[in-house]
Amino acid sequence: MDNIGKLVVYCSDQTHASMQKAAKIAAMNPKNFRAIETSKSSNFQLCPKRLESGILYDVQNGLIPLYLCATVGTTSSTAVDPLASLTEVAKKYELWVHVDAAFAGSACICPEFRQYIDGVENADSFSLNAHKWFLTTLDCCCLWVKNPSALIKSLSTNPEYLRNNASETNKVVDYKDWQIMLSRRFPALKLWIKPSAIIGKNDENEVNEINRKLLESVNESGRIYVSHTVLGGVYVIRFAIGGTLTDINHVSEAWKVVQNHAGALIVDAFMSK
Distance set, CA 237 to CA 13, 14, 27, 61 (Å): 39, 35, 54, 58
Q: Rounded to 5 degrees, what are φ and ψ at 156?
A: -70, 135
Percent of the chain with pLDDT over 90: 61
Write down the mean pLDDT value for the chain. Answer: 90
Angle between helices 248-271 and 203-221 (to 10 degrees): 130
DSSP element (H, E) containing 218: helix 203-221
Q: Name the domain count of the chain.
A: 2
CA distance 181 to 183: 6
Q: Which amino acid is at 267?
A: V
Q: Which amino acid is at 107?
A: A
At 227, is the secondary structure helix, strand, or coil? Answer: strand
Q: What is the pLDDT of residues 157-183, one digit of tens each?
A: 888 998 899 988 989 888 888 888 888
For residue 192, tell me if it sits in a domain: no
Please tell me the predicted confidence (pLDDT) of residue 104.
94
Q: What is the pLDDT of residues 61-92, one digit of tens each?
A: 999 999 999 999 999 999 999 999 999 999 99
- Please check whether residues 11 and 129 belong to one and the same domain: yes
- Please check whether residues 109 and 214 belong to one and the same domain: no
Distance set, CA 96 to CA 67, 148, 150, 160 (Å): 5, 13, 11, 32
* Residue-by-residue DSSP string for 124-183: SEEEEEHHHHS--PSP-EEEEES-HHHHHHHH----GGG--HHHHTTSS--GGGSSSSS-
Q: What is the pTM of this model?
A: 0.74
- Please check whether residues 128 and 30 belong to one and the same domain: yes
- Please check whether residues 141 and 208 belong to one and the same domain: no
- Please check whether residues 123 and 231 belong to one and the same domain: no
- Can you give the CATH number for the domain in which 105 is found? 3.40.640.10
For residue 181, tell me if it sits in a domain: no
